[in-house]
Amino acid sequence: MKVLVIAASKHGATREIGAAIAEELAGAGVEAEQAEPGEVASLEGYDAVVLGSAVYMTQWMENARNFMAHHGQELRSLPLWAFSVGLSGVPVGAVQDPRRIGPHLLAINPIDHQTFKGRLELANLSLRERSIARLGNAPEGDFREWDKIRDWARQIASDLAEHLPAD
């Protein structure tokens, strides 16, 4: 069984979460590859997909939205899990309601969607991004919950068999 983990990341935090998911899947005996949305021409040869994106201003990144629009039919025909990474509600509570991300995510009908807290390093942002972060009182720091991320990836690995067509 072969799973593609796709993560749209602007500053690397979401890409690192995608890598952790792929690593956990591989540790569970699942062949897992990681890519960014623009690197994927086709989903042919994959049995399932894990798709995630950083969230900015309640939206998935444009390259993730374009990927869903372009590969929507393929995504709807494969077992699909999705994740969003953001800072809303950090450090207390969960990140924003996934339905606010928009119709693209709902249209591909993932088996499960998780929201994970992200990382904000002001020094790595552009002047515009720093200004927006400061205006929004976004807390600086790494809030990623690695145990939660790895547990979810292991759950995907254990759930894969029930979502794959019988030979």
Q: How far is 148 from 165, CA to CA, in rounded Å?
A: 28
Max intra-chain CA distance, the chain: 54
Q: What is the pLDDT of residue 26?
A: 97
State the pTM of this model: 0.87
DSSP assigned state of 93: S
Q: What is the pLDDT of residue 167?
A: 53
Q: How far is 129 from 52, CA to CA, in rounded Å?
A: 21
Q: What is the pLDDT of residue 140?
A: 80
Q: What is the pLDDT of residue 132?
A: 76
Mean pLDDT of 41-70: 91
Domains by residue range for the chain, with CATH: 2-163 (3.40.50.360)
pLDDT in tens, 77-135: 999 999 999 865 544 444 445 445 656 777 788 999 898 998 888 788 788 877 877 77
Q: How far apart are the first and last CA of the chain?
A: 12
Q: How far is CA 74 from CA 19, 47, 62, 96, 128, in A?
A: 22, 11, 19, 27, 36
Output 35 or 107, whichever has higher pLDDT: 35
Q: What is the pLDDT of residue 122?
A: 79
